[in-house]
A and B are shown apart, each in its own frame.
Chain A
């Protein structure tokens, strides 16, 4: 239909504004007569090429050779305690039950413990040494202990916000002000996606543990970046993606015919309008149609052997973190750029000895399984895995509810681990003070984490920018240092 004469024919057909009722019009837009004369067939032909996946917005990326192709970001939402995971503090054990020195806490932001006496709280679990590296990890996480030599633990994290909502925003967008793009969106903007039939940025969630903290779409939103870089939430139960299922009574073939008809009609318009948006629209409908098959295919794990299911500890589509970890691997195999898993249950203000084991039980084994599975498939080397909360917890006790102690929100220190391509495994980086209150040795801000993550993907975090409201914005705002010491 791209030949000259056909186009003219179409145009003439269109100009017939015959209409029933009062909408009949006797005048014809002569502007449409002009169009064929101006048609540039070479341009139309060039537009017919369909690219796979999402093109990066920047021609200049990567800025240097990438160590990894993708990120799997394990968001332990609620803020796991560093003192029951990765940060062993003998001094805190010693001081247990004694007042936290005022010199440490005065002038510091305090969340739920505002106005209360502050007492030291020892670690409620034993720490063991794991692997050849002998990394110290709490006894609650033996499986992560099993991959101790693959992971780099950072004990000197800190952030700017003490409440979940804004702290989650910082962890995902680098600042607490709403409306900024999330890290996954920045990655798509910089690198595009390799998946032709799945979104490049996928979010999965699970819960279990204490009353789950709310999360918000802003945590995977594209902010002021174009909407195509937005994260897409996948649901491990029910419809896997909103509107991915055909309406009731519409078969796959019905839908195919429909999408074909839409495509043909849109092409007819494109031939007259020279509007690249129409070409894009046609491609998006094709992608949508492909997603309608590829998403269910992704979620259908019947092709996974039993020993793999056992390794993760999942039976199937049960909405668990374990199932999501398995899906994360499947998404990684299919070229998805940024895969984010939330587990909502880590807000242990009280009854920590009840909730922490639940969270550990739900996440320890699958996390380790994901690492091992990727390793076995030779994919760990080009995957970056990050395990982190949005902040940490106080070295002081809180037990405002229930019988046993818990811990309050804490932004001056927390722990996380990184793993995968280019990360120096078996290493512990940074340290907190004796009481675990402040990150003192090699403190790492969230912006530094983001800078390092981008670096592994071949991106100079200072150069991945977007002009908005009069200035160049970036994921790391005006800060961020790459942590070269944790890299191989």
Chain B
């Protein structure tokens, strides 16, 4: 990609050629692949009654195993390879008699003609069976040989191009450099392009400069913030306890730990071990202890009348759902009440996983808005040591047996007084430090509680068997040790080579961050109800490459954005849209509305208001009065920050789980009560009202206008529009676009000239004062222009 232009040209021509190919199925109709074509049918239509759940299994028949389908140990199966007429499965699926046709008439399930045709072909071709793709270890594929004159193709591209070629498609042209600069900036830092960052690339959009831009962005401390936003969704990070009173909890240092981990490029296996079991590592550092806050992110209650035992059960289930969801991408939560209906996980697996967390010091019912244990940060360790020493000294002085006999009573009294006075000083200082310290909930290991299988998830039912910590039976040959396993064993297994899921799940989600969708589309479920990956070999390649290179997150992400596939335009012709509406073939980039926090960050950064401090206690931007009126025990009101914290990034906004800030909610930020792998993206009037009228956005727009009026005093209206537009969107406006805004500015200016009081009023929104030297009428009318720009679809879209 030395020269963008030439690639555009050749690729454009190719796309034109592509247009003459008639419509066809999205994927080449190879032979039947069991996992791609057959298992999803069986899973969706049969497993409910003939699957992993033994209790609801009908006719003692299971279709989720090879034995069940094809028979074993002398038992005939329901499928006989190559022989349709001897395959009971096929006969029952196609029977014309209601009483024997499957699925049963009253099940609301039905097989489509194409599904039956696929099953037919599969049986006729020999009924080849394979384990579910996600549960078998990834295998390193050959890098596909593709015919392409494009020397810039990365290994990743070769997988994509091969699939495209099979479908007689090609990669779309590269996006223009401006779009690429914006795309990279949003994707890697969650911020709009900063001039000094992107200028060298825009001046010389070569492959080399592109790579340098990527490296600059990944070296920025905002990279860690961007990645943390996603991780915090997965682990359900919140600043409050989630149930009932929903009081604040001490946890923000954990959030900072996550940011630092991504910035420092902490290997993902270490990252995993530290969060789940930092306290069990040898001589853990403070950082590793803070990391164990992960285990304390479950919702907690302080509600009067809560039954502690019931909530301990809720905590346990919450942790299993989250750990299974965040690392394994499986829906283990289903097995709380019954064996999983679709995947090979039993209730015993569920409670055995819960048992890993049974040693966490906690209570089921918290009181007095305190959620111990937590660590206090910023305490002077020397002072702590001195306090201990002084206490020893004092007790020695006061003990006639052990103290220095040579001292006279007077001398002794004098020394006691001296030590007592210093001790009081030190104690006072430590108390002060403790009060001012940042605190963070942590994991402390205590003798484990007994964990039983709870029939139907009912915590009052004590008839279930007692279980020990154990890895899911279907995913391991044997448990890793004879003695009781602990959280470190769990963490080690999650990131072990034997684990087929973690690396795939992580890379699948990273793919989504940079391409808009997972390679397997269901980010929260790679089980049998999930989706067959669009590029299974590529996913395996990414997973193994990640694993084999020391779980190096930055390296993996760098490789994802240094591809020709990533650099494609997100424009799609109507033909391509029709051909592949969901972009499963990756013949173009995706575009999406920015995430809630990034929408805020973008407005603040564009205006110049953004305060770029990394980490710290959570912050409180303006929020409508009364929004917290439904909180109680105690009642409280939101006091917005009156200092620079007002202008911090979205990820630092105080995450009140039951009443998340309405401007974040309006753009689909999750409450973080449960593990969230993918946010929905809505497009609602609420979102429009937020961008139009939320004082944070109005103030940002006004500040944006003020800055321009202050810095560039001699611009014509057209020039100012040019400047504002370019600052916000990194491109010049078209003349039509400029005309629209000129007209807006003019009519607003006329209005405010007639109504100077209203202009003055607009200047009062938000905390930032406006210099008295500026004409309020000019500020107000230009604020209309900046509000318009900052409400544009383009402004909140990653293209």
Contacts and interface: CB of A to CB of B under 8 A. Distances in A.
Given A243-B693, A277-B683, A177 B674 contact: yes
Contact of B9 (A30, A250, A274): A30
A250 B762 contact: yes
A254 B751 CA distance: 8
Given A34-B12, A265-B737, A22 B199 contact: yes
B310 A109 contact: yes
Contact of B685 (A112, A199, A463): A199
A249 interface: yes
B524 A217 contact: no
Interface in A271-289: 273-275, 277-278, 280-281, 284-285, 287-288
Interface in B746-799: 747-748, 751, 755, 758-765, 780, 784, 787-788, 791-794
Interface in B727-755: 730-732, 734-737, 740-741, 743-744, 747-748, 751, 755
Interface stretch (A11-19, A323-331, A412-420): A11-19
A31 B305 contact: no
A225 B755 CA distance: 45
Q: Among A164, A214, A217, A230, find the residue whose CB has the most chain B CB atoms closer than 10 A.
A: A214
Interface in B446-495: 460
Contacts of A242: 624, 627, 662, 686, 689-690, 694
Interface in A299-329: none
A31 B685 contact: no
Nearest to A275: B591
Nearest to A114: B307
Given A17-B731, A408-B305, A227 B682 contact: yes
Contacts of A13: 734-737
Given A17-B732, A27-B4, A262-B791, A274 B674 contact: no
A228 B681 CA distance: 9
B658 A463 contact: no
A25 B178 contact: yes
Given A29-B176, A34-B571, A470-B331, A22 B195 contact: yes
B527 A249 contact: no
B74 interface: no
Contact of B722 (A20, A243, A273, A291): A20
A105 interface: no
B569 A31 contact: yes
A112 B683 contact: no
Contacts of A43: 574
A257 B791 CA distance: 13
Nearest to B5: A27
Q: Among A23, A27, A292, find the residue whose CB has the most chain B CB atoms closer than 10 A.
A: A23
A193 B255 CA distance: 40
A21 B760 CA distance: 33
Interface string B251-269: 0000000000000000000
Contacts of B731: 14, 17, 19
A3 to B, nearest CB: 14
Interface in B301-325: 301, 303-307, 310
Given A31-B12, A217-B659, A238 B626 contact: yes
Contacts of A32: 176, 571
Interface in A463-483: 463, 468-471
Given A226-B680, A258-B788, A287 B658 contact: no
A301 B744 CA distance: 35
A38 B575 contact: yes
A462 to B, nearest CB: 7
A456 interface: no
Nearest to B676: A179
B250 to A, nearest CB: 21
Given A205-B630, A409-B305, A469 B525 contact: yes
A269 B195 contact: no
Nearest to B726: A19
A408 B633 CA distance: 18
A478 to B, nearest CB: 9
A147 interface: no
B741 A31 contact: no
Contacts of B524: 468-469
A224 B693 CA distance: 27
What does DSSP make chain A's interface, helix, strand, loop or mixed? loop
B692 interface: yes
B513 interface: no
A21 B195 contact: yes
Contacts of B202: 22-25
Q: Among A24, A25, A255, A280, find the residue whose CB has the most chain B CB atoms closer than 10 A.
A: A25
Interface string A53-79: 000000000000000000000000000
A365 interface: no
Interface string B518-529: 000010110111
B530 interface: yes
Interface in B543-559: none
Interface string A233-274: 001011101111111111101110111011011101100011
B680 A269 contact: no
Interface in B650-682: 657-660, 662, 665, 668, 670-671, 673-674, 676, 680-682
A35 B726 contact: no
A266 B245 CA distance: 43
Contacts of B747: 257
A214 B573 contact: no
A227 to B, nearest CB: 3
A107 interface: yes
A220 to B, nearest CB: 11
B8 interface: yes
A20 B243 contact: no
Contacts of A211: 632
A241 B689 contact: yes
Nearest to B730: A23
B565 interface: no
A317 B507 CA distance: 54
Contacts of A107: 460
Contacts of A245: 693
A94 interface: no
B684 A285 contact: no
Given A163-B244, A470-B529, 10 more contacts: A13-B737, A23-B199, A27-B4, A31-B8, A34-B16, A247-B695, A261-B743, A273-B571, A281-B683, A469-B525
8 contacts: A20-B722, A163-B243, A214-B244, A228-B684, A258-B791, A268-B734, A284-B687, A288-B689
